[in-house]
Chain A
Amino acid sequence: AQTVTQSQPEMSVQEAETVTLSCTYDTSESDYYLFWYKQPPSRQMILVIRQEAYKQQNATENRFSVNFQKAAKSFSLKISDSQLGDAAMYFCAYRDLSNFGNEKLTFGTGTRLTIIP
């Protein structure tokens, strides 16, 4: 079974600074997606960034970028120029695409990010 581990329960960063959230995962599959989701107090899971396992290039979305190390099964999220609105729970998630129909998301336990003004 696939597992996702987030070893940082809480992180904090000064506004405008850069912070990196860590995630490791375990799988024997080769075809999968990795995601970072943000969950603010409104409770809605918001997709931050997605990485396809077959792509070597790291995904980037504006101030958000990932460091995807497939061999090490590591998938970290870097947030540049942190803003107050970035404060939220961040979840790393895995989605296996090897078998049709097996598309559930497996989530980590989350990292609570606090932005210090």
Chain B
Amino acid sequence: DAGVTQSPTHLIKTRGQQVTLRCSPKSGHDTVSWYQQALGQGPQFIFQYYEEEERQRGNFPDRFSGHQFPNYSSELNVNALLLGDSALYLCASSLEPRGSPLHFGNGTRLTVT
């Protein structure tokens, strides 16, 4: 039973570029959340997708956008990258109803130079 998988593992981008991160949820899960974890900090909630719609959003600018596909996989897109976007991006999946445990992937380490 595959857990949450994220790709790529690492990537390096230049300021101003755009990036797409991908996440496949744990088998049977239908809800995907994205978190940003800066170095030495706890993860910060970006947004959550359920039934292909953004259900909840954290305090992140519109440069951060996402998508959920019919197979429940998800993408996180970040436009006009800033140095401050350098972080570990974690994807977590869960199964409705609410309150079910989140399962996290190993994350994508994004470095913006």
Contact = CB atoms under 8 A, between A and B. Distances in A.
Interface in A40-94: 42-47, 50, 91, 93
A110 B38 CA distance: 12
Interface in B4-56: 33, 35, 40-45, 48, 55-56
B98 A106 contact: no
Interface residues of B, number: 25
B105 A47 contact: no
Nearest to A4: B42
B42 A108 contact: yes
B101 A47 contact: yes
B70 interface: no
B41 to A, nearest CB: 6
B98 to A, nearest CB: 6
B99 interface: yes
Which range contains the number of A residues in contact with the other chain?
20 to 34
Contacts, number: 59
Nearest to B45: A104
Contact of A97 (B41, B43, B99, B104): B99
A44 B42 contact: no
Contacts of A28: none
B56 A45 contact: no
A101 B99 contact: no
- The 10 A-B pairs of least Cβ separation, nearest first, read A107-B42, A45-B104, A104-B45, A43-B107, A44-B106, A107-B43, A109-B42, A43-B106, A101-B55, A91-B42
29 contacts: A4-B42, A33-B99, A37-B104, A43-B88, A43-B109, A44-B105, A45-B43, A45-B90, A47-B101, A47-B103, A91-B43, A97-B99, A100-B98, A102-B56, A103-B56, A103-B98, A103-B99, A104-B33, A104-B45, A104-B48, A104-B58, A105-B33, A105-B43, A105-B92, A106-B45, A107-B43, A107-B44, A109-B41, A110-B40
